[in-house]
């Protein structure tokens, strides 16, 4: 099995030890954290493949940790560890983008089966990208900005970055409005109108228009009856310059 790195964020030592031992015994590389603050730092490290996240944590609530993880790594698989009867928290977690949940007390066998299932579903997820190039501009997903050749800069919102990074990572196919709602908002079209996606796309297109007026092509293309797709000139970029540096 290729090396898979799992982060366990759980404040109860006995539960955390049992989960860590079960994962180690199954061949996973494991990091652990006893509070939300440390857990968020571990989850955002490079090379992490999945996070097991308790909701009731000291220093930082589990749902808050999940929200921050989704902003930075929208495709990272997360399984919630939750107490029996905490249905409202489970529902909130799933709507915020968690991939699955396991109710305490759980067996090692059940937990490992959930981990394997989520990892199988995650195989087809696109690799995360740090930025893109468009019409001579650099789009920096970390800084949330577009830098144009004439040194103009356009700020992008968290949601706009999430949409753009998902489309760029899936630039070989059209992505439906329903998929964007499910992957980025963690909700279904019955809960929020798909027009929400259209409005975000319209604002994003406006911000990606070349301020010099030279470019006329759209960065995001509408594919009739299928949704949206990254334009042919909107291409993934490797690591963007670090904060404090310019390209």
- Distance from C-alpha of 81 to C-alpha of 104, rounded to nearest angstrom: 7
175: pLDDT strictly greater than 50 = yes
CATH of the domain at 58: 3.40.50.2300
Query: Per-residue b/e over 79-100, b at no fewer than 16 CB within 10 Å?
Result: bbbbeeebeebbebbeebbbbb
Residues 187 and 233 in one domain: yes
CATH of the domain at 137: 1.10.10.10
Global pTM exceeds 0.75: no
The structural domain count of the chain equals 2
Domain final position from 97, 122, 147: 122
* pLDDT tens, position by position, 46-105: 778 899 999 889 999 999 999 888 877 777 889 999 886 667 777 777 777 788 888 888
169: pLDDT strictly greater than 50 = yes
Residues 89/31/120/22 CA torsion (nearest 10 deg): -90
Residues 141 and 176 in one domain: yes
At residue 179 the predicted structure's pLDDT band, cuts being 50, 70 and 90, is: confident
What pLDDT score does 29 carry? 93
Q: Quick check: is 189 in a domain?
A: yes
Residues 17 and 109 in one domain: yes
Residues 136 and 190 in one domain: yes
* pLDDT tens, position by position, 127-165: 566 789 887 889 988 788 999 887 788 898 878 888 888
Range of the domain at 190: 131-237
- DSSP 8-state secondary structure symbol assigned to residue 240: P
Q: Quick check: is 242 in a domain?
A: no
124: pLDDT strictly greater than 60 = no
- Distance from C-alpha of 171 to C-alpha of 165, rounded to nearest angstrom: 10
Domain final position from 90, 122, 154: 122
- The answer to whether 52 touches 62, Cβ cutoff 8 Å, is no
């Amino acid at each position: 099995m290729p090396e898979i790195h799992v982060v366990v964020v759980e404040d109860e030592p006995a539960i955390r030890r049992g989960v860590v031992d079960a994962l180690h015994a199954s061949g996973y590389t494991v990091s652990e954290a006893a509070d939300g603050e440390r857990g968020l730092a571990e989850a955002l490290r490079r090379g992490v493949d999945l996070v097991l996240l308790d909701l009731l944590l000291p220093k930082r609530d589990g749902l808050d940790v999940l929200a921050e993880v989704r902003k930075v790594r929208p495709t990272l698989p997360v399984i919630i560890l939750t107490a029996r009867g905490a249905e409202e928290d489970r529902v909130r977690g799933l709507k915020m983008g968690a991939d699955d949940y396991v109710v305490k007390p759980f067996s090692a066998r059940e937990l490992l089966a959930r981990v394997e299932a989520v990892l199988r579903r995650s195989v087809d997820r696109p690799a995360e990208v740090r930025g893109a190039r468009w019409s001579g501009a650099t789009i920096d997903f970390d800084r949330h900005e577009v830098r144009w050749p004439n040194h103009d800069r356009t700020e992008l919102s968290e949601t706009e970055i999430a949409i753009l990074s998902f489309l760029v990572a899936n630039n070989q196919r059209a992505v439906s409005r329903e998929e964007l709602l499910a992957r980025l908002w963690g909700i279904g079209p019955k809960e929020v109108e798909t027009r929400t996606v259209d409005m975000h796309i319209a604002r994003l297109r406006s911000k990606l228009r070349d301020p010099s007026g030279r470019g006329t092509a759209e960065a995001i293309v509408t594919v009739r009856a299928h949704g949206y797709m990254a334009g042919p000139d909107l291409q993934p970029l490797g690591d963007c310059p670090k904060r404090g540096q310019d390209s």
